[in-house]
Amino acid sequence: GAVVSQHPSWVICKSGTSVKIECRSLDFQATTMFWYRQFPKQSLMLMATSNEGSKATYEQGVEKDKFLINHASLTLSTLTVTSAHPEDSSFYICSARVSREKLFFGSGTQLSVL
Amino acid sequence: AQTVTQSQPEMSVQEAETVTLSCTYDTSENNYYLFWYKQPPSRQMILVIRQEAYKQQNATENRFSVNFQKAAKSFSLKISDSQLGDTAMYFCAFMKPNNNDMRFGAGTRLTVKP
């Protein structure tokens, strides 16, 4: 079946630094990928839709300059958390569209900002 | 905007028994997809079952089945012969066919007791 690889699985960084998270579709091409954020014991909240070759579409309330998304190829989307602060600590999950009604999820990245 | 409501934050069931998780949603769309995802402690999102709104027949996957009531906008998940490995967070999700971003309910934490 389709596999979505997300890396790293966890990262600890200092406040003020930037962190990049990668989401790769391993055996299919994904023109559209999605980035979600999940706080402890809460649901997944869509942050943005990543479109290959064009600008990402951000959900209301998500800072574009804070969460930079790049989808430069059909198999890779990256999320960069810039100037990270402790309140950015969260679990970030990507997903990729395989077909009209199928999405596959990455394994997630736990970000801890000290 | 579409909303998904899961009114049961936590549920428990004895091993081998049957449990039903509730989900309601609100949409003005006529065609859409509904999903149940399982998130175990590993936090990997695992697709449990999928229902297409234009299909009247309830979806079934082994021990998992749904009761889809389109007019009532209800989409409950029944787990039969519950197993210890079913212990997880369960999320109900809604997706329109043309844009693929998935909206999740708040989740239900299910515990299967031995």
Q: B78 or B56: which carries more pLDDT confidence?
A: B78
DSSP B49-84: EEEETT--SPPEETTEEEEEETTTTEEEEEE-S--G
User: Which residues sit opposite B39 in a β-bridge?
Assistant: B89
The pLDDT value recorded for residue A51 is: 87
Task: Out of A44, A91, A100, name the one closest to residue B104 (CB).
Answer: A44
What pLDDT is stored for residue B98 in this prediction?
73
Chain A nearest CA to B4, separation (Å): 11
User: pLDDT exceeding 90 applies to what percent of chain B?
Assistant: 85
Residues B40, B46 contacting (CB under 8 angstroms): yes
For residue A42, how many other CB atoms are within 10 A of its CB?
14
User: Inter-chain contact A101–B45, Cβ cutoff 8 Å?
Assistant: no
User: Which residues of chain B lie closer than 8 angstroms to A101, CB-CB?
Assistant: 33, 50, 52, 95, 97
B34 φ/ψ angles, rounded to the nearest 5 degrees: -125, 145
Nearest-Cα distance to chain A for B97, in Å, is: 7
pLDDT per residue as tens, chain A (114 positions): 668 999 999 999 999 999 999 999 998 888 889 999 999 889 999 999 988 888 899 999 999 999 999 988 889 999 999 999 999 999 999 999 877 778 899 999 999 999
How many angstroms from the chain centroid is the CA of residue A59?
Answer: 13
A58 lies within 8 A of chain B by CB: no
Residue of chain B whose Cα is closest to the Cα of A105:
B45
Q: Is B106 on the interface with A (CB under 8 A)?
A: yes
In chain A, residues with a C-beta closer than 8 Å to the C-beta of B101 are 34, 46, 49
A105 to chain B: which residues are within 8 Å by CB?
44-45
**CB-CB under 8 Å, A97 with B107:** no
pLDDT of A2: 65
Of B44, B100, B105, the CB nearest to A103: B100
Contact flag A108-B33 (C-beta cutoff 8 Å): no
Query: Is A25 touching B (CB cutoff 8 A)?
Result: no
